[in-house]
Structures are given as C-alpha cells and as structure tokens.
Structure 1
Amino acid sequence: MFCPWLSGAFIPTLLLLTNVESSGPALKGAEIAKLCKLSKFLATVPGDSVDKTSKAIGAIRAAADANFKATLAILAAKNETATLLYAALAKVTADCLGAQITTAGTLLDTATEATTRATATAAAISDFVHFLKKASTGGGTDGYCLTSTTTDSSIFTDVPDLSCDNLELPFTGKAATYDPTIINNKGFPILSGRDAKSTGSRNKCILYHKAGSVANPAEVFQSTSTVSLAGGTIKLTPANGGTAATLATENNYDGEWDEQAGDKIKELYNAISKLKKETPTVCGSSPAEVLKYAVTSNKLHTELEALVKKLKMQLNGKTEAEAATNIINSFLKTDGDKGEQLAAIINTAQTTIIDGETVGEGALDKLDTTAKLSAALAIDQETARTSALHQQTQLEAARAKLPCEGEEAKKNA
C-alpha cells in the first residue's frame, strides 16, 4: 500500500523536472536497496503491535477467568484447608489480573508510538524510492537518478530489492521478525554510513547542480547545503564539485537495546526497541496457565503462609511456611505437573458450585469463622474483577483506535 498522504503533492511536482538536463551522478541501487529492506521491516511493526496488544488483552481475560474460578471454589470448599487454599489462590489470581491490566496499558502506549514512527519512516523511504524510479524511467543511457543493484553504470531495473515503493502495511496481528542485519542491540546495522553515490554514472541525475556554486532555477535543490531525505536515512549534498550521498550512520549505539538521545532515527529505534522488549503476558495467556503460574512462581505458597499467620492457626510445632507446604501437598501430588492438577481441582469446584450441589440458600450462615473471612475476601475480589473488566473494555476501545487497524485485527484478537 503506497502512502498517498505523504506523496500526493510532492511526486507530481518533481516529475515535471524529469526533462531537466542531467547534472550529476546517480544514486547507487545496491545502497538504496538497503533502505528498501529497512522500509519493509518497518512495515511489519504495526502487525507486531497488534499481535502483542491482542495477547495482552487476551491475558486480561485469562486472569479474570482464573480469578473468578478461584473465587467460586472458595464457596465450594468442604473444609478449612480447602478454603485456605482457594482463598490464597484467589489472591494470587487477583494480583495477576491487576498486573496484567497495568502491562496492557503500558503496552498500548508503546505499540501506538512504535506503529506511528515505523509507518512514517517506512512511507518516507517508500516515497523517496518511488520518486527516484519515476525520475529515472525513460532516461535510458542519458538521464537517471538510480542505478542497477548489480551494475553501477546502468539504469535501475525493477527488481524485488527495489520494490518498496509499493509497500503493504498489514494491520492484522503478526509477530515481527527482528532481523539482526537490519536492527539489533546496537542500532540499525543496515544504516552504516556507506557512500550511496554512484561512481559509474556521472552526469546523470537532476538532484545535483550542473555547475558553479549557485543552482539553476530549474534545478531541484537551490541551496548547496546537505539535505536529509527518506525520513533521515540518507543525506545528499547537491553542490557542484562537492556532491555527496551517504546513508545515515546509526549502527553503533551504546547499550543493550537502550534508549538513545538524538535524531529522528534514534527516536524510531527507541520506539521499536521498547516494543520488542515488551512481554504482553504476566502470568499466562489462558486460565490454566495463570493457575499453573500460581504454583510454579511460589506465590500460592507465599499467600497461604500469610493466611496461616493472619488466622493464627494451630501449627503443632510447625512453622507457617511448613504449614503452607503441607496444605498444598494435601491437594497436589509431589510428582507431575502441579499447575495442571490445581487447574483440574479448581474446574471441578467451579462445576460443583455452578450446579448447586454444595452451597444452597442460607449455607453461608453456617460457615465457620475462617470460611466467612474467605468469603469476604471473595466478595472483595469479585468487586476488583468487575472493575478490571471495565478497564479491559476501555483498553479494547483504545486498541481499536490504533492507526488503520480495521476490523480484521479485531477478529484476530
């Protein structure tokens, strides 16, 4: 998809200049092809943004579902030990839900900036290559601004390496491939400051002055000063006798994907590196993964230990930590996947309470003190869940406003 909003008035005006007498060397096709490669990578950033945002929103649903199941399980508990286990699990999943909402909000901001900067730069490069081709077409051996990618003394041929003037900008969710030859922890290795001026095609391109220190009024650039083109990825000096064209040098940043201060290419790098480092899920992408995380992260044990201490349980010579371990082991086998075991127990408890086989009318009045405290905890967490789901709705509405996302991205969420 070519970006007409950036080129509508620019290209037709410059095309009027294609008949001006050629006055300098063309640009080297092999170097411009590197800009095309960068542009094609940048065009995948919107899809990466949608992919990660969709996963983050899906993880909110997963955490909310896991929390709701743990909350229901409290009411299905048949004894104090089960009540404590489910109450601790409800606390862990509630914390996961809160953390996931925070992550999704941060990710949405990061994705929006990365998408905006990447598409703008991709479009600028696309526009520049489009102009070079149009300015060269019909020039034959007499006048052109772009050489072949293989032969520095002949006019360009429309090969795939130079096809970025017709970019596709997909806004459906698809993870980007971070090719280390294009972008890595030190910047953009593809922007290595190489000379982009052809040495085998002199007196060809209208971008340079024909003679003297002052430009002809019919020439493209009236000043001899260096200009930055294609979104800052290439610099061109049009002055006669001092012509130059070099790719930007953005391949040796300090740090490990760290933020850089400086020009618009560094700002682009910052936005993309932040997106790359974002992990869209906190505790898992499904309810089962969230429940498994509760065990494997040791957070279930931590919350159980806190409850045992808070309720001043009779420990019989054991520590609170040992009592928490015993509660977990009384439900979960020491061998096998404890996360999967816990998910099965919670799903069974949820089915029981939904089917109405355990808690009937007035049953809460018969619960002992520990269970009543746990039921109160469940009510608090149900309130938190309702608030979280409201925030999730707001996040989904914000994601829908990502540039050009369209309906297809929503279907894939």
Structure 2
Amino acid sequence: MSVSPLDLQEHLNDYDWLDDHLDQVYIQIARGLNGRSASAVEAIETLNLIMPYALTRADYKRWENVLYDALLCAMDLSNTDFQIQVWSHLGACLFQSGNYQTASDAFSKALARTDRNVTIENRLLARIGILHSKAIFATQDIDQFIAETLIFAREIANDRMLATLHYSLAVAYLHQAETRRALGHAQVALSHWMWLENHEEQQRTALLLAEICRVARSFPHAAHFLELVKPGAKDAYHSAILNYHQASVLLENKQHQAAVDRYVDALEGFMSLDFPYMTGAAHHALALAQTKVGDITSARHHLRQALIIWQKLEIEFQQANGVYALGFLEAIAENHETARGFYQQALQMAESLPDSPLVSDLRADIREDMDKLPPL
C-alpha cells in the first residue's frame, strides 16, 4: 500500500510512524520520478514533505540522487514552486554533508526563483536556506537579510515553517555569538514545536538551547535543557550531539576524564555519520579536554585533525580558532616560541575576518594569551 502526500501531512509530527514508512516512501518516490508526469508530481510532493524529517535521520547520502532526479522533473514540469523546494532541500542535504559552497549555490538558485509568481511559504523557504550560508560564511549583510526575512514571515501562519525559521535564526545568531538573540529565537521555535506536539523536534531544539547556553557560559542552564533530552536510539545525530553537550557540562564541572570519554563517544558518532563540521568540532573539543588530563600528544593530534577538516570546509573562523588552540596547547607544554608562532599566525588570520562579536572575542583572547608568554 503506497503512502500518499495526504498520509504524510497527517503524520508529519509522528516520527515513529515516519521511521516505519521511510524506506517505503523512498522507493515510491524513486519510482514515481521515473514514471508519467502525474506520478512525478505526486513523487515531488511526497519528497518535499519527507525531506525535513529525513535529514533529521542523518540520511542525506541516499537522498542526493533522488533530489537531482526531482529537480529535472520539476524543470520539465516548469513548476517554479517545486524547483524552489527541491533546490532548498538539496542545499540542506549538501550542507549536512559539509559541501558548504555547493550548498550555498543551491540555496542561491532557490532564492533566484522567488521573483516569480510563487507562494509566500516557498519565498520564506528559500530565504531560510540562505540564512544557513550567511551564518557559516559570516557574511556582513546578514543582519539586513534577517530583518527582510522577518518581514516576509509576518504573512506566514504555518507553525512548522515558523519553527524552522526561528530555529535557523537561532543558529545564525549563535554563529555570531549573539547568544541573547539566539536564545530568544530558539525559545520561539520550541513554542511552535510544542504547539504541534512534535516531541522529537522539541528535543532537537532543547539541544540547540543547551548549545546556546554553553556558548554563553551559562552551564547550569545548559544542563537544564539537556535534562529535557532523551537519548534517541533511532536518531544517531541526536545521540552524538547529546554526548557532545554533556561532555561540555562535565568539562565545566571539572570532571575532566568523564568529559574526555563523552567527547570520544560524540566524535565516534559524528564520524560514523560522516558529518564533517561536527566531527571537526568534536576533535577540537576533545583536544581541549585532553589537555586538562595532561594528554598533550593526543590533544595535539586531534587539533591537527580538526584543522584539516576546517581547511577542507574552507571555514576561516574555525581555522583561526584551531591555530590559536594549537598555540594554547604548546604554551601549556611550555614550548613558548612554538606557541608564540601559532598565536601570531592565528591573530593574522583573525584580523582578516569580517568583524563580529565572535571574531572580536577571538582576537582579544589571542592577544591576552600571547601577552602571558615569557618575553623574548
């Protein structure tokens, strides 16, 4: 028995039901895209409904080819709304895999189609995709883009889309270390998911709230949000990110070895999922925890692994932060001249970045630690 778009609409917030039907839906979509135009239309409708959920299951690899097939069908049908949706989902898929520039191009193609006669929901969907790109690449026009996007959102009454928007805004502000704004938008997202009674998205948003509190160094509040999250056997990303945040709380509570062990679990989870961004973050965080237990050799290895990932992803802020961390590590090991060289390199990299609160903090931290080194 096939799953219709109406079936999916009815169960969009029931992830257990979606888990049970995902493989069937995938096969059905793949077949529909290779059929007649009527079946292709239903296949694209089904694909656009399932993709936000499918990506929560860290399932991006098998969906890429289907999305490209859907894009060709949408172009053959001359359906601009379909094209915006598929480009947006393809961008999200590529973004999850760490192909940030290609993802950004896909989001841009979606946005370029919004000057035509398309629904307001699809205009907002395209802008949500661009938000991710502007956040990761720290573009200077992000505040203006956010203001324009919020004007669009006034016309939207779709709780699911508004939840997605505010979650994305929270992530964008978190990338700028504007934690108060990030916290506000994440709480709005949480309220929408609560209204929809979508318990899994509530927990994913609680994880984001924990991350925001961690960056704001409000560790008791981070621990509170983590208590709202249940370990999810079906959601490997959910489990890995939970381990990552729990490790951060353990580290702050000076339970250093327990933090190392939990970061190792998180790293293994992200590596198994092939999530490069969080794999890099876990390498970096694990290294910092290892310095606390005196394992300098392992810490040095993991920082270098993180740097390799940041270089491949072309994320300049994280590259500067990684070099700074190497300097900090060498200072702890009392290799003062090596540390000085890393600090100078990191500061030069940080000075070339666009201004933001996060970048300003990084520059200040580097200068402060460089001043602590013994004079030449």
Using the size of structure 2 for normalisation, the TM-score is 0.27
Higher-helix-fraction structure: 2
Higher relative contact order (CA 8 A, sep 6+): 1
Using the size of structure 1 for normalisation, the TM-score is 0.25
